[in-house]
A = this chain, B = another copy of it.
Amino acid sequence: MSYKLKQLAELLGVKVHGDEEVVIKSVAPVDKATEGDISFVSSAKYLQGLRNTSASAVIVKPSMLEDTKVAALVVENPRATYARVVSLLYPQHLPEAGIHASASIDLTAQVAVSASIGANVVIEANAEIADDVIIEAGCVIGRNSKIGKSTHLYPNVTVYYDCIIGEQCILHSSSVVGSDGFGFEFDKTEWLKIAQVGGVRIGDKVEIGACSVVDRGALNDTVIEEGVKLDNHVQIAHNVHVGAHTVMSRGVGVAGSSKIGKNCIIGGMAGIRDNIEITDNVIITAMTIVSKSLRQPGSYSSTTPIDDTKSWRKNSVRFRQLDDMAKRIRLLEKQIENKG
């Protein structure tokens, strides 16, 4: 695809600075861009690159115009405009509407005419597939589950029964929605399974990464609100509630019945214990263990710093003496004080 800069500006409703006839075919970083490329600069540290760029156009903030020698789209959030430009220049290839001959669709399931159902897809009884949904090869949609308008399931996704997925969602391959929560009760000699009879409700515009899992509720539903983005290998346990527009990086685990607020950012491989409450606008850094509720917005961390293994070993063994060290410091302080 290629656009004149003025066409991009019109499609996006933004202002042009300079030559609006320049032709844009691709995106590239400001320091590597050449003719036909558009770049974006969102921070002052790339101003030098901006001044020297060979891009045909750039996306910049108004304050950057004096450092801009080439044509430009002038916006408040260059990266957001960049995101929209990428989608225009590199339109996604979407499969055609229709049902592949090898798909197995229960007679009681409802599949919109505009939906695209890939090879070997299985859609069970009473499931509902809305308009413009794309379900790629090998996906399985369980009984009574509903997939909202324009949602896209990549190949080999499994959605269990009684799960509701919103509109414009994206589920990546090998992800699973609706598997049993981990609920057992030890009874004399063995673990008795507690049937997980709740479902899953996922809002609009939610993205779920490859190999991520959202368990069904024990009794009530597991809930993910709109706009939530989950990276790969994320786990949402039974009866968890994730607030709108919260993002979780790769490998995050949220244990049972915890409630995460809106607009939180959870770093990769962080673990959140069960029955925790996290308020809105909380940031958790990578690999942190959240073992208590967080009622104030802000950034939280645990973990220890990386070191060469030899030094680390020497310091790490002292961790077991920390309480002793603290007490000895207190004792020294008293001794000094007494001698004062």
Q: Which residues of A are in contact with B by a Cβ distance under 8 Å?
A: 27-29, 77, 79-80, 82-84, 86-87, 90, 92-93, 100, 102, 104, 118-120, 122, 136-138, 140, 142-143, 154-156, 158, 160-161, 170, 172-176, 179-180, 182, 184-187, 189-195, 197, 205, 207, 209-213, 215, 219, 227, 229, 231-233, 235, 237, 245, 247, 249-251, 253, 255, 268-269, 271, 273, 283, 285-292, 294, 298-323, 325-326, 328-329, 332-333, 335-336, 339
Contact = CB atoms under 8 A, between A and B. Distances in A.
A187 B92 CA distance: 21
Contact of A174 (B207, B211, B237, B283): B211
Contacts of A156: 138, 140, 156, 158, 174
Contact of A287 (B227, B271, B339): B271
Given A209-B179, A253-B269, A312-B301, A83 B185 contact: yes
A102 B103 CA distance: 9
A271 B271 contact: no
A168 to B, nearest CB: 10
A273 B231 CA distance: 14
A212 B302 CA distance: 26
Contacts of A323: 311, 314-315, 317-318
A190 B205 contact: yes
A301 B316 CA distance: 10
A237 to B, nearest CB: 7
